[in-house]
Chains A and B, each alone.
Chain A
Amino acid sequence: MVTSTPSRLTPRERARRAARGGVSRSVPAPLLVPALIAAGFLVLPLVGLLIRAPWRHLGAALSGSDATQALILSLWTASASTAISLVIGVPLAWVLARSSFPGQRLLRALVTLPLVLPPVVGGVALLLAFGRTGFLGRYLDSWFGLTIPFTPIAVVMAETFVAMPFLIITVEGALRSADQGFEEAAATLGAKRMTVFRRVTVPLIAPSLGAGAVLCWARALGEFGATITFAGSFPGQTETMPIAVYYALETNPDAAIALSLVLLLVSIVVLVSLRDHWMRGGSVS
C-alpha cells in the first residue's frame, strides 16, 4: 500500500535518478537551515572584506604603509621555513612512518603538538628556549654572540615551529599508505636504502609532498601568535603581513583591508593549487 501522497518529480530529476540511481537527494529542512547559516557565516565576512575594500586607491593604500616590506618579509620567511621543514621534516616523517623504536608514539604526539597548541604558547616556549636567557639561547649568546629573538631568524623559527607539523603529518600519512611493493622491487634491483628513498619513495609520495609543502607554506604565511611573541614586530625586520594588518587596522584601516586582500588572494591561489589533493573527498593519500 502506498503510504504517502505522490509528489512531483521533474523530468530532470527522473533522468538524474535513472542515471545514478538512488533515492531523493533533496535536503531535509532541519539540516538545510543550519547548513545555510554555517555557509553564510564562513562566506559573508569575506564578502564584507570585498565590499569595504578601497578599490579606487588600492595602490596608494598599499604603498602608503610598510606593506611591500611586510609582504617581502612574509614571502621569504614562509618560503625559508617551508624549505627547512622539507629538509628536516620529511626525514622525521619517514622515521615516524617506517622505523620503530621505543617512545615512537610519544615522539609522534609531541611532534604534532604544535598543530593544536595555541601559537602564542609556542612563541613563549621558543622565547624560553632560544631567548637571551633561555636554556639554549644563553649559550648561543655567550659562545657565539648570537641573539635570535626579535630578528628575521626568529620569524623563520616561529613559522617553522608552527607550520612544520602540517608537512610532517601529510607526508607521514602518504608514507604509510604508499605501496611498499615498489620499495621491495627497488631493493631486488640493487638499490640500497638511501637510493630507494631518493629514487622510489620520494617520487611515489610526490603529490602529497607537494600538498604538504603548500599547506606548510600557507600556515607559515599566516603565522601571527608565535611570531609576535618570539620575534616582535619591527617593521622591515620582523613585521610580517598578518602583524602589519593587525597594526594597520588601528592607524590606517584602508591599508589593513588592502593587505588583507593580498593575503586573501594568496590563500585562494594556494587553495586552487591544492584542489586536486584536498577538495576531492579530502583524503590524505
Chain B
Amino acid sequence: MTHEGSEGLVVDAEVRRGSFLLAVSFTAAPGQVLGLLGPNGAGKSTLLSAVAGLTPASAGRITLAGQVVDDADAGTFVEASGRPVGFVFQNYRLFPYLTVAENVAFSPRARGMGRRAARSMASHWLDRLRLTDLAGRKPGQLSGGQAQRVALARALAGQPALLLLDEPLSALDAGTRLDVQTELKRHLADFAGPCLLVTHDPLEALVLADQLIVLEGGRIVQEGTPAHVARQPATEYVAKLVGLNLYAGQANDSEVVLSGGGTFVIPDQGQHGDVLVAVRPSAVVVSSQRPQRSSARNTWPANVAGLTLLADRVRLSLEGQPSALVDVTPAAVAELSLGPGREVWLTVKATDLEVYTHAEGQPA
C-alpha cells in the first residue's frame, strides 16, 4: 500500500447485488475529487453505498484513512455509523421534521457531542454555507439549491474523512444548477479528504472532478483526467456523452481499417494494432458532390438518416462506411437540401482524427 493510499481511500473490492456484480479497484487521494461517471445501472450508487457501509463488499477490501473498514475475506466490517464518511444523497434525504439547524447538528450529536457543542458546530457550518438565515426553516420550505447546501452542511458537520456525493445537482432545475455547481466546486476545494462524486452529467464531471473513473456494467472502463477522457473516450458511452464519433479499428502506419467497415487515412506515427479513432462532429465536412481527393483527406459517401436541431446547428445522423454524426449550420441544410435519404459526401482531414490505443482500466 502506498503512503498516499494509506491517507485516502483505497478500494479493491467486489459488491454483489442480486445478479449484478460490481468489481472495482482504485484509490482516491486526500483533497482529490474523483468523479464516477457512467450510465444508469453501471454500479455508481452501489459503489458509494459500499464505501459508506450501507452495502457490504462480497469480496476484497476497502480501506479509509489507513483503517480497513470492510474486508470480506477477513470478515471485518465497520458499520456505516462507525465510518468517518459524509454522504450527500441524490434527493438529499433531509429529515423533514427537523429544522435546518437541527439537521446540521444531527451528525455531531449522533457522534457523541453534547447538545451545546453540536449546536455551535452546526452554526459554524451554517455560516460557512451561508445558511444562517434559513436555520429555523423546515426542509419543505427550502428551494432545491438551498436544500443541496443544507445536505452538504449536514454531511460536513460530522467532520468526515471522506465525502460522498450522489448526483448532487440532479435534483436541481437547469437555472440554479450552474450557481450551485460553482459554489459546490469551492466547497469541495476546501475539503481536505478525498471526495467521490457520482454523476451521469459529463459537464458536471468535467467541471467538478480532478480525476474521472468511467463505470459501465460494474467495471471501470476508463480512468484519467477529465480532459483526457473528453478527448480520447474509451467507449461508445463516453464518446456519446462528450459528443464525439468513436471508431474502433486496426492501425497500420498511415491507415486504420475500421472494424465496422471503412478506412481512415491517418498521420503516420507508426501505430499498429488495435486503436480507437475519435472525430468531432464539427470536423466533418458535408458536400453534395464528390470532392477532389487528396492524400491527407478521407472522403466517403453516406446517406442522411436523421436530423436534429441543436441550439445553433443541425446534427446529422449519417449512414455509411463508417456512419457518423456531423454538425452543420441550418443554412447548409437548406443549401444542400439535406433530408432523410439524401446521399452526400463526407470529408475529414487526417489531422482532425484523434487516434489512440486503449488498454482497459488504464489511461491510454
Contacts and interface: CB of A to CB of B under 8 A. Distances in A.
Interface in B87-108: 87, 89, 91, 93, 95, 97-98, 106-107
Contacts of A206: 97
A192 B93 contact: no
A7 B297 CA distance: 78
B40 interface: no
12 contacts: A181-B89, A184-B89, A186-B95, A187-B80, A188-B164, A189-B110, A189-B155, A190-B82, A190-B107, A192-B81, A203-B95, A204-B97
Contact of B110 (A182, A195, A203): A195
B111 interface: yes
A87 to B, nearest CB: 22
B127 interface: no
A188 B95 contact: no
A199 B107 CA distance: 11
Interface string A10-22: 0000000000000
Given A190-B111, A190-B158, A199-B106, A185 B79 contact: no
Interface residues on A, range: 10 to 19
Contacts of B82: 190
Nearest to A184: B54
A188 B164 CA distance: 10
Interface in B184-222: none
Given A181-B89, A195-B110, A199-B106, A188 B80 contact: yes
Given A182-B95, A203-B97, A206-B97, A188 B106 contact: no
Given A191-B110, A195-B110, A185 B81 contact: no
A262 interface: no
B158 A189 contact: yes
A200 interface: yes
Interface in B134-180: 154-155, 158, 164
B82 to A, nearest CB: 8
Contacts of B91: 181
Nearest to B164: A188
B87 A188 contact: yes
Nearest to B98: A203
Contacts of A195: 81, 110
Interface in A222-277: none
A186 B155 CA distance: 10
A185 B82 CA distance: 13
Nearest to B151: A185
B85 interface: yes
Interface of B: 49, 52-54, 79-83, 85-87, 89, 91, 93, 95, 97-98, 106-107, 110-111, 154-155, 158, 164
Contacts of B80: 184, 187-188
Contact of B93 (A182, A190, A193): A182
A184 B55 CA distance: 11
Contacts of A184: 49, 54, 80, 89, 93
Nearest to A203: B97
B181 to A, nearest CB: 22
Contacts of A204: 97
Contacts of A185: 87, 89, 93, 95
A191 B107 CA distance: 7
A188 B86 contact: yes
B89 A189 contact: no
Contact of B81 (A181, A182, A190, A203): A190
A186 B86 contact: no
Nearest to A193: B81
B54 A189 contact: no
B252 to A, nearest CB: 53
A181 B93 CA distance: 7
Contacts of B79: 187, 192
B54 A187 contact: yes
Interface string A163-204: 000000000000000000110111111111101100110011
A186 B106 contact: yes
Contacts of B54: 184, 187-188
A191 B111 CA distance: 7
Contacts of A188: 52-54, 80-81, 83, 85-87, 155, 164
Contacts of B81: 187-193, 195-196
A184 B95 CA distance: 11
Nearest to B92: A185
A207 B176 CA distance: 34
A209 to B, nearest CB: 12
Given A181-B89, A184-B54, A195-B110, A189 B97 contact: no
Contacts of A192: 79, 81, 110
Q: Which of A189, A191, A196 has the most CB of B within 10 A?
A: A189
User: Which 10 interchain pairs have the tightest Cβ spacing?
Assistant: A191-B110, A189-B107, A188-B87, A190-B111, A187-B80, A185-B93, A190-B110, A203-B97, A187-B81, A192-B81
Given A196-B81, A203-B98, 8 more contacts: A182-B95, A185-B93, A188-B52, A188-B164, A189-B155, A192-B110, A203-B95, A204-B97
A188 B82 CA distance: 8
A206 B81 CA distance: 24
Contacts of A200: 95
A38 B107 CA distance: 55
A281 to B, nearest CB: 21
Interface in A44-82: none
A204 B154 CA distance: 19
Q: Which of A185, A188, A191 has the most CB of B within 10 A?
A: A188
B153 to A, nearest CB: 12
Nearest to A200: B95
B307 to A, nearest CB: 38
